[in-house]
Amino acid sequence: MIRLLDGTYVAFVNGRCFRLHYLNQNRCQIYINNQYKGIGPFDYIKEQITMLERFHPFTRLEYMEDTLIFQELKNQSIRFDMKV
């Protein structure tokens, strides 16, 4: 699971894109494949998605979209050291 700068959590598991928008007091909005599913307890949902990622470690890498994950870095000048 990846945390974006605006506090949104994104995960890709089994071809599905999970997004959690943290609201307050352990509540979050849940989006699956960009469709709103409802509001739920943040810590429980995050734990369950993390568990799914552990059970299916290779499926999450196939579906990552660079434009979605790295759109926040688009207007910033950041250098990556690829020698490491």
> Is the pLDDT assigned to residue 81 strictly greater than 60?
no
Strand order in the sheet with 8-13: 2-3, 8-13, 16-22, 27-32, 35-41
Q: What is the pTM of this model?
A: 0.66
Q: d(Cα 60, Cα 47) in Å, to the nearest integer? A: 16
Residues 6+ apart with CB under 8 A from 20: 8, 9, 28, 29, 30, 31, 42, 45, 46, 49
Higher pLDDT residue, 76 or 14?
Answer: 14
Mean pLDDT value across the chain: 77
pLDDT per residue as tens digits for the range 41-74: 999 999 999 898 888 766 544 445 555 555 555 5
Query: Phi-psi category of 48—alpha, beta or left, where left has phi over 0 and alpha has psi -120 to 50?
Result: alpha
DSSP 17: E
Domain spans, the chain: 2-73
